[in-house]
Amino acid sequence: MKVVQSGEVEKVFYGEFLHSIDRKGRLILPAKFREVAKNNFAEKFFLTRGLDKCLFMFIEEEWRAQENKFRAISFTKQQSRTFNRLYFSGAQEAVPDRQGRILLPQYLKDYAEIKKDVTIVGVSNRIEIWSQDKWKEFYGNSRQSFEEIAEKLMDA
């Protein structure tokens, strides 16, 4: 984890929050996440298809860093083309309104199987938006192996 120098603002999202999509398809971002964005002068987010059937959301600065990283992957490789097509074709700008709400496009809700209730998870440099059912399933299947995974990753 990056050490924050005096006067520098940390760009880390963390925590787990339960929210609901309103009847107009909008989602209220957790106040904690809005605060991180505000402190980093981030007015715009980018949403896209994530992994494990969730949505990824980045502040603009981090999105541009991801763009550069994926742009550097050779387009001559079929897997690279497929990944980039799916990742970037799903991208959508999201600017929160005064109440901190963003509109989730239907195609992204369909991808993540989001109906009404969602779990919003901070994962360091990104926010993940999950259907509550999918998050419960992922968490239930993953929590048992948390220590094993940590041991393998930390020994590397």
CATH number at residue 63: 3.40.1550.20
DSSP state of 89: H
Q: How confident is the model at residue 2 (pLDDT cuts 50, 70, 90)?
A: very low
Is pLDDT larger for residue 129 or for residue 151?
129
Q: Give domain status of residue 78, yes or no.
A: yes
Q: Give domain status of residue 28, yes or no.
A: yes
Q: Give domain status of residue 6, yes or no.
A: no
Show the DSSP H helices in the chain as ranges.
Answer: 31-39, 60-71, 78-89, 106-111, 132-142, 146-155
Q: Give domain status of residue 7, yes or no.
A: no
Q: Give domain status of residue 51, yes or no.
A: yes
- Split into its structural domains, the chain has a count of 1
Q: Which domain holds residue 61?
A: 13-155
Q: How confident is the model at residue 10 (pLDDT cuts 50, 70, 90)?
A: low
Q: Give domain status of residue 60, yes or no.
A: yes
Q: Give domain status of residue 116, yes or no.
A: yes
Q: Give domain status of residue 5, yes or no.
A: no
pTM of the model: 0.86
